[in-house]
């Protein structure tokens, strides 16, 4: 195996680098204006005047060195394989960054008149059409800032639609036990009670168990397809019918849409509402934990319920429409995460219809290949043993040792590769959730599988030792992080 | 031409031979077989109706040409504000946020290999706490409006009360977002009036509306009109004596000269971090500020929090980790404080590097330039006939309202845009100003010549 050592700068906190008399950027000042306002601070009412702000004082180079050193202590997609299950850590094309740096993107103000922003609005209009076609929905709102916000918008629409159609008493949302935590959290934010739907031994939600849980209280169901076990939900159409028969609406969590591009569409499975994580499927950088974008799409009957604004095309060109008759309202201050939307648009244009279908084909192929390359005795599948995987594979770490999955995860880091998602989904014992994506070359998949198999051998023989060893710090003391808790420094 | 084998820079395993090798291991005859578990009736069975892919060069050329149609700085002058403001982003900030190690990573779930982002976020928390006078700041929400929505939800949860008082001088869109966020909780939103002359919140009206059933007061400082709420200490004190929480929304740049909310007793501070080194980006991504007065409130707040700790094997080696995760959706599910998951880490990194670059003196001089330029501009516009500038008598920082005797605000706004000046966003009728008015935002990016161009354009547009 290749050797890896992460940079380990003993980098102080930024305030510890401060020394009076330094500055890292000069602010423009106009002499004539300055001469008119000798003491600008006196323009602030006396009761609210601030004497000074406690900020560090550093030169430009010092600030750059500090953050550049920190960056070297951060693992990323462009350094190595990052198969965090459910997060779709694919490669983000550089050209998107270049284009998003254009003046016409960076310096556009969300309140400028539509006629002065036609370039961007035309792109958003096309993106909205593309997403509708990809998912089989009628219309999208691009305004929601992240997957979780798209989910919230989705369940709020379900709530409002039902209230307008005699379903005000429907206060239950069905959520499978394999679902992401955001699903029950979003449903609860929208005022719903969460009814848990059990998965069977094949990791499948059965239409029969859904039908049994449905009642006149059912508002709808949030469903992730393929599910978080990486398995396609074979009865999705029947599940949709059961919920619809009971008077509820179907919500599609698009977290795993990377598996289905050009193969199947939520609209054809009976879903009424869909959110997409553009940062996952459509390759916008994850930013170390944001920003993302989570547009939400609906069928025709829900189109007037979308969060505002939506992009419209009229006789005078493109515009932002804030006047949807039944809209749940806005969830964000302005248009949406526009610079993220632009990157997703570019990604779709780079790949096109055939390329997007190749993406799902090769992502699914990679997941199945990697899964089959793992030692099945070491990493048995918890569910659906004979079934195909879609975009990701979930396995258990076979061990009597508590925390075996975490040990494996920490050990992977020492190979210069990121760990899979661990301990999720919750229904899997000692879970590793591995999503390689279509971006990883075959050789890398081989390396990853070999590393996991090797680690398991050491774990079984009790030779793993303390891991990780090659990262910028050894195992972090998470207990001490909370006792006592230090969330800031006083200096 | 030959029928070339299919290749794509984003798809390293597209080649037929590679596919065959992988299929063999996967135990499938074809890729289609890998999808055979999708029932026939839900398969698409046709190609997506999308354009075919294009080369990087073609896409770049076309998209950049379309973006160039937008009228933006530097060719156009922008004096718009309202929660997104034109400020200069130092080159060093762009350099730092363009580090692929930061921007192509994800949430630091594996702390040991992600210390760089964790330390940056911790530093963001710390810098923001100093700036805001707070004890805990999360490592960001989506934007000001959604942070305000989360804050009001939190106040409802913490107090168990049902009435919410929103400052009538606060931004309408933010109030709408608060409404969307809180509607399922059954909170009753009421508006506190503002003084039509000064543009500040009406203390008497607040007193009348306060009661033991009020969860919180939401007030902005400076407010939507750009006016500094000079009575905010009294407003906050009144709210506290009624047992309500005070949520203060801020433009962080104003805190260069204006007292920090912690100094006048705010419980929760929200705001827009965009001016701290983030481009306007036509509305996003931006940075939702969310901070609280003490650790006790931190236990009820939404969003990621980073704590300082050490390595377990070497207690002399500092390290960072996510803390209080038991509040969050991935652990607590339906009982979580919020559904928020991914946030705006990269934007928090931008803000941390921005505040470090400007530093103590640079940040103060930024405030001085901004307040001087805005007052200079307000004075310039006041020389135009038929214009009252500023419309309100209250003190202001970087934005101000201008009212017109005869002209319609909407028409002025569009005429200015045609002259290459984005300015005078109309003040909504629902504020009840009683006259046609627009808002103007002036910052350090505006030179004296720019302000003169604005003045000349407004003269012609009226």
pLDDT in tens, A320-352: 999 999 999 999 999 999 999 999 999 999 999
Nearest Cα residue in chain B from A81? B105
Interface contact A58-B356, CB threshold 8 A:
yes
Interface contact A368-B123, CB threshold 8 A:
no
Query: For residue A11, what is the DSSP state?
Result: P
d(CA B28, CA A390): 13
Domain of residue B394 covers 77-88+360-461
B444 neighbourhood in chain A, CB within 8 Å? 27-28
Average pLDDT value for chain B = 97
B291 and B167 in a common domain: yes
Most A-contacting residue of B70, B201, B237 (CB-CB within 10 A), to test interface: B70
What is the per-residue pLDDT for B334? 87
Would you tell me how many other CB atoms lie within 10 Å of the CB of residue A212?
Answer: 11
| Average confidence (pLDDT) over B299-308 | 95
Identify the band that residue A490 occupies on the pLDDT scale cut at 50, 70 and 90.
Answer: very high
Give a yes or no: residue A395 inside a domain: no
CB pairs under 8 A between A and B: 734
Interface contact A488-B112, CB threshold 8 A:
no
Interface contact B44-A268, CB threshold 8 A:
yes
Nearest Cα residue in chain B from A59? B357
Q: How far does the CA of residue A212 sit from the closest CA of chain B (Å)? A: 22
A104 and A249 in a common domain: yes
| Average confidence (pLDDT) over B349-366 | 98
Give a yes or no: residue B444 inside a domain: yes
B199 and B82 in a common domain: no
Contact A146, A154 (CB under 8 A): no
A282 and A133 in a common domain: yes
Interface contact A357-B153, CB threshold 8 A:
no
Q: How far does the CA of residue B403 sit from the closest CA of chain A (Å)? A: 19
Q: How far does the CA of residue B333 sit from the closest CA of chain A (Å)? A: 5
| Average confidence (pLDDT) over A214-227 | 98
| Average confidence (pLDDT) over B312-326 | 93
Most B-contacting residue of A93, A107, A190 (CB-CB within 10 A), to test interface: A107
Contact B338, B329 (CB under 8 A): yes
**Among candidate residues B354, B375, B402, the one where a domain is terminated:** B354
A30 and A132 in a common domain: no
**Among candidate residues B354, B373, B397, the one where a domain is terminated:** B354
Exposed, middle or buried, A468 (CB in 10 Å: 0-12/13-18/19+)? buried
| Average confidence (pLDDT) over B117-124 | 98
**Among candidate residues A350, A369, A393, the one where a domain is terminated:** A350
Of B67, B111, B283, the CB nearest to A110: B283
B255 and B121 in a common domain: yes
What is the per-residue pLDDT for B5? 82
A126 and A52 in a common domain: no
Query: Could you read off the pLDDT of B32-62 as tens digits, one per residue?
Result: 999 999 999 999 999 999 999 999 999 999 9
Quote the Cα angle for B447-B449-B450, to 5°: 65
A33 neighbourhood in chain B, CB within 8 Å? 372-373, 376, 448
A54 and A202 in a common domain: no
Of B28, B312, B414, the CB nearest to A113: B414
Give a yes or no: residue B419 inside a domain: yes
Identify the band that residue A313 occupies on the pLDDT scale cut at 50, 70 and 90.
Answer: very high
User: Nearest 5°: phi and psi at B199?
Assistant: 80, 15
A160 and A37 in a common domain: no
User: Nearest 5°: phi and psi at B321?
Assistant: -150, 155
Please tell me the total count of domains within chain B.
2
Structure tokens at B74: 């530097």
Of A91, A109, A482, the CB nearest to B422: A109
Instruction: Outline where DSSP puts E strands in A307-359.
Output: 310-314, 317-321
Bridge-partner residues for B388, per DSSP? B403
Q: Domain of B320: which CATH number?
A: 3.40.640.10
d(CA B246, CA A335): 28
Query: Could you read off the pLDDT of A86-125 as tens digits, one per residue?
Result: 999 999 999 999 999 999 999 999 999 999 999 999 999 9
Query: Could you read off the pLDDT of A222-259 as tens digits, one per residue?
Result: 999 999 999 999 999 999 999 999 999 999 999 999 99
B312 neighbourhood in chain A, CB within 8 Å? 474-477
Exposed, middle or buried, B56 (CB in 10 Å: 0-12/13-18/19+)? middle
d(CA B84, CA B278): 10
Chain center to CA of B20: 49
Of A76, A332, A471, the CB nearest to B177: A332
B120 and B82 in a common domain: no
Interface contact A289-B84, CB threshold 8 A:
no
Give A 184-213 residues with CB within 8 A of chain B: 184-191, 194
Q: How many CA atoms lie within 13 A of A221 on its CB side?
A: 34
Tokens 């070297």, residue located: A72
Q: How far does the CA of residue B220 sit from the closest CA of chain A (Å)? A: 14
A152 neighbourhood in chain B, CB within 8 Å? 339
- Tell me whether A280 touches chain B (CB under 8 Å): no
Interface contact B104-A439, CB threshold 8 A:
no
A66 neighbourhood in chain B, CB within 8 Å? 356
Q: How far does the CA of residue B305 sit from the closest CA of chain A (Å)? A: 7
Helix axes A60-72, B115-132, angle to 10 degrees: 140
A178 has pLDDT over 90: yes
Query: For residue A317, what is the DSSP state?
Result: E
Please tell me the total count of domains within chain A.
2
Q: How far does the CA of residue B242 sit from the closest CA of chain A (Å)? A: 23
Q: How far does the CA of residue B342 sit from the closest CA of chain A (Å)? A: 5
Of A336, A349, A387, the CB nearest to B51: A349
Interface contact B144-A486, CB threshold 8 A:
no
Give A 444-463 residues with CB within 8 A of chain B: none
- Tell me whether A323 touches chain B (CB under 8 Å): no
B155 and B230 in a common domain: yes
Interface contact B341-A48, CB threshold 8 A:
no
Structure tokens at A9: 């700068």
- Tell me whether A59 touches chain B (CB under 8 Å): no
User: Nearest 5°: phi and psi at A140?
Assistant: -120, 150
User: Nearest 5°: phi and psi at A72?
Assistant: -70, -15
Interface contact B109-A421, CB threshold 8 A:
yes
What is the per-residue pLDDT for B2? 66
Percentage above 90 pLDDT, chain A: 97
A339 and A209 in a common domain: yes
Give a yes or no: residue B104 inside a domain: yes
A184 neighbourhood in chain B, CB within 8 Å? 329, 333-334
Tokens 């079934």, residue located: A387
Measuring CA to CA, which residue among A97, A330, A290 is closest to residue B351? A290
Give a yes or no: residue A390 inside a domain: no
Tokens 């090797």, residue located: A454
Give a yes or no: residue B2 inside a domain: no
B369 neighbourhood in chain A, CB within 8 Å? 27-30, 40
Give a yes or no: residue A404 inside a domain: no
Nearest Cα residue in chain A from B181? A331
3-class DSSP assignment, residue A39: coil
A246 and A191 in a common domain: yes
3-class DSSP assignment, residue A330: coil
Domain of residue A33 covers 14-72
Interface contact A478-B362, CB threshold 8 A:
no
B1 has pLDDT over 70: no
Average pLDDT value for chain A = 97
**Among candidate residues B299, B329, B354, the one where a domain is terminated:** B354
Nearest Cα residue in chain B from A79? B101
Give a yes or no: residue B175 inside a domain: yes
User: Nearest 5°: phi and psi at A287?
Assistant: 65, 20
Give a yes or no: residue B277 inside a domain: yes
- Tell me whether A81 touches chain B (CB under 8 Å): no
What is the per-residue pLDDT for B188? 98
**Among candidate residues A317, A350, A383, the one where a domain is terminated:** A350
Interface contact B359-A361, CB threshold 8 A:
no
For CA atoms A273, A424, A372, B27, the dihedral sign is negative
| Average confidence (pLDDT) over A419-445 | 97
Of B35, B67, B284, the CB nearest to A104: B67
What is the per-residue pLDDT for B441? 98
Whole-Å CA distances, B40 to A281, A360, A368: 24, 17, 21
B171 and B264 in a common domain: yes
Contact B280, A448 (CB under 8 A): no
Interface contact B49-A353, CB threshold 8 A:
yes
Give a yes or no: residue B45 inside a domain: no
Nearest Cα residue in chain A from B99? A71
Give A 396-435 residues with CB within 8 A of chain B: 409-410, 413, 418-419, 421, 424
For CA atoms B160, B164, B170, B172, the dihedral sign is positive
A120 and A46 in a common domain: no
Give a yes or no: residue A378 inside a domain: no
A17 has pLDDT over 70: yes
A482 neighbourhood in chain B, CB within 8 Å? 307, 323-324
Whole-Å CA distances, B270 to B188, B218, B221: 20, 10, 11
Query: For residue A319, what is the DSSP state?
Result: E
What is the per-residue pLDDT for B352? 98
A66 has pLDDT over 80: yes
Interface contact B333-A185, CB threshold 8 A:
yes
A32 and A113 in a common domain: no
Q: Domain of B417: which CATH number?
A: 3.90.1150.10
B429 and B344 in a common domain: no
A195 and A50 in a common domain: no
Nearest Cα residue in chain A from B29? A365
Identify the band that residue A149 occupies on the pLDDT scale cut at 50, 70 and 90.
Answer: very high
Give a yes or no: residue B50 inside a domain: no
Measuring CA to CA, which residue among A452, A450, A461, A398 is closest to residue A420? A452
Q: Domain of A175: which CATH number?
A: 3.40.640.10
Interface contact A55-B116, CB threshold 8 A:
no
d(CA A151, CA A273): 9
A130 and A38 in a common domain: no
Of A287, A348, A489, the CB nearest to B346: A287
Give A 371-400 residues with CB within 8 A of chain B: 371-373, 387-388
């Amino acid at each position: 195996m290749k050797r890896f050592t992460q940079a380990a700068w003993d980098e102080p906190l930024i305030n510890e680098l401060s020394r009076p008399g330094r500055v890292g950027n000069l602010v423009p000042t106009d002499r004539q204006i300055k001469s008119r306002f000798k003491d600008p601070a006196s323009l602030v009412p006396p009761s609210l005047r601030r004497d000074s702000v406690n900020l560090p004082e550093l030169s430009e180079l010092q600030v750059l060195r500090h953050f550049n050193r920190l960056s070297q202590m951060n693992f990323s997609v462009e350094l190595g394989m990052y198969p965090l299950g459910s997060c779709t850590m694919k490669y983000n094309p550089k050209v998107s960054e270049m284009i998003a740096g254009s003046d016409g993107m960076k310096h556009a103000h969300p309140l400028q008149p539509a006629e002065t922003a036609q370039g961007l609005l035309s792109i958003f209009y096309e993106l909205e059409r593309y997403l509708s076609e990809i998912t089989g929905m009628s219309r999208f709102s691009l305004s929601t800032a992240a997957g979780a916000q798209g989910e919230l918008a989705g369940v709020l629409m379900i709530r409002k639609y039902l209230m307008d159609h005699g379903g005000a008493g429907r206060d239950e949302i069905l959520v499978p036990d394999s679902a992401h935590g955001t699903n029950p959290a979003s449903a609860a934010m929208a005022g719903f009670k969460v009814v848990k739907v059990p998965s069977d031994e094949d990791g499948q939600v059965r239409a029969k168990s859904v039908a049994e849980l449905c009642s006149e209280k059912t508002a709808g169901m949030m469903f992730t397809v393929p599910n978080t076990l990486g398995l396609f939900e074979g009865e999705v159409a029947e599940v949709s019918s059961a919920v619809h028969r009971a008077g509820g609406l179907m919500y599609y969590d698009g977290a795993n849409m990377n598996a289905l591009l050009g193969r199947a569409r939520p609209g054809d499975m009976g879903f009424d509402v869909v959110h997409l994580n553009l940062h996952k499927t459509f390759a916008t950088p994850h930013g170390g934990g944001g920003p993302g974008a989570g547009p939400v799409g609906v069928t025709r009957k829900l189109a007037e319920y979308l969060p505002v604004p939506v992009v419209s095309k009229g006789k005078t060109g493109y515009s932002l429409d804030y006047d949807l008759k039944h809209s749940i309202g806005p969830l964000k201050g302005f248009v949406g995460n526009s610079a993220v939307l632009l990157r997703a648009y570019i990604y779709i244009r780079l790949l096109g219809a055939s390329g997007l279908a190749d993406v799902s084909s090769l992502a699914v192929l990679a997941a199945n290949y990697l899964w089959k390359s793992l030692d099945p005795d070491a990493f048995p599948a918890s569910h659906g043993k004979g079934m195909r995987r879609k975009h990701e594979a979930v396995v258990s770490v076979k061990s009597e040792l508590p925390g075996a999955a975490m040990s494996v995860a920490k050990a992977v880091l020492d190979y210069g590769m990121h760990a899979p998602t661990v301990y999720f989904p919750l229904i899997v014992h000692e879970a590793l959730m591995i999503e390689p994506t279509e971006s990883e070359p075959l050789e890398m998949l081989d390396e990853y599988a070999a590393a996991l198999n090797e680690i398991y051998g050491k774990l079984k023989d009790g030779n793993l030792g303390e891991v990780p060893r090659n990262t910028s710090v050894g195992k972090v003391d998470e207990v001490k992080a909370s006792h006592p808790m230090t969330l800031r420094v006083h200096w | 031409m030959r029928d070339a084998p299919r290749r794509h820079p984003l798809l390293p395993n597209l080649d037929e031979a590679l596919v065959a090798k992988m299929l063999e291991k996967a135990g499938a005859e074809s890729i289609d077989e890998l999808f055979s578990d999708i029932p026939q009736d839900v398969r698409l069975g046709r190609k997506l109706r999308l354009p075919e892919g294009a080369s990087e060069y073609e896409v770049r050329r076309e998209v950049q040409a379309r973006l160039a149609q937008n009228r933006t700085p530097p060719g156009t002058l922008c004096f718009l504000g309202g929660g997104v403001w034109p400020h200069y982003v130092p080159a060093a900030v762009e350099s730092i946020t363009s580090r692929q190690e930061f921007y192509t990573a994800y949430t630091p779930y594996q702390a040991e290999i992600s210390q760089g982002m964790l330390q940056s976020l911790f530093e963001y928390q710390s810098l923001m706490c100093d700036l805001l006078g707070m004890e805990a700041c999360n490592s960001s929400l989506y934007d000001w409006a959604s942070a305000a929505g989360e804050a009001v939800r939190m106040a409802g949860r913490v107090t168990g009360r049902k009435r919410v008082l929103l400052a009538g001088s606060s931004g309408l869109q933010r109030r709408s977002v608060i409404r969307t966020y809180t509607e399922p909780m059954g909170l009753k939103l009421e508006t506190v009036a503002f003084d039509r002359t000064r543009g500040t919140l009406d203390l008497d009206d607040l007193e009348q509306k306060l009661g033991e059933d009020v969860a919180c007061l939401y007030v902005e400082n400076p407010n939507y009109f750009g006016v500094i709420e000079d009575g905010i200490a009294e407003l906050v004190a009144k709210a506290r004596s009624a047992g309500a929480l005070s949520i203060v929304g801020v433009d962080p740049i104003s805190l260069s000269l204006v007292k920090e909310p912690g100094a006048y007793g705010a419980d929760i501070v929200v705001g827009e971090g965009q001016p701290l080194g983030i481009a306007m980006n036509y509305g996003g991504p931006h940075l939702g500020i969310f901070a609280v007065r003490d650790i006790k409130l931190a236990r009820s707040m939404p969003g990621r929090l980073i704590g300082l700790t050490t390595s377990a094997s070497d207690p002399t080696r500092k390290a960072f980790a996510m803390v209080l995760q038991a509040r969050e959706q991935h652990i607590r599910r339906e009982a979580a404080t919020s559904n928020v998951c991914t946030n705006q880490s990269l934007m928090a990194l931008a803000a941390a590097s921005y505040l470090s670059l400007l530093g103590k003196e640079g940040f103060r001089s930024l405030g001085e330039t901004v307040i001087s330029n805005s007052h200079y501009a307000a004075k310039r516009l006041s020389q135009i006939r038929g214009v009252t500038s500023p419309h309100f008598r209250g003190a202001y920082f970087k934005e101000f309202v201008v009212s017109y005797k005869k002209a319609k605000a909407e028409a002025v706004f569009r005429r200015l845009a045609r002259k290459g000046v984005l300015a005078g966003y109309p003040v909504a009728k629902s504020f009840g100003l009683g006259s046609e008015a627009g808002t103007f935002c002036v910052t350090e990016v505006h030179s004296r010549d720019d302000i003169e161009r604005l003045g000349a354009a407004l003269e012609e547009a009226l």
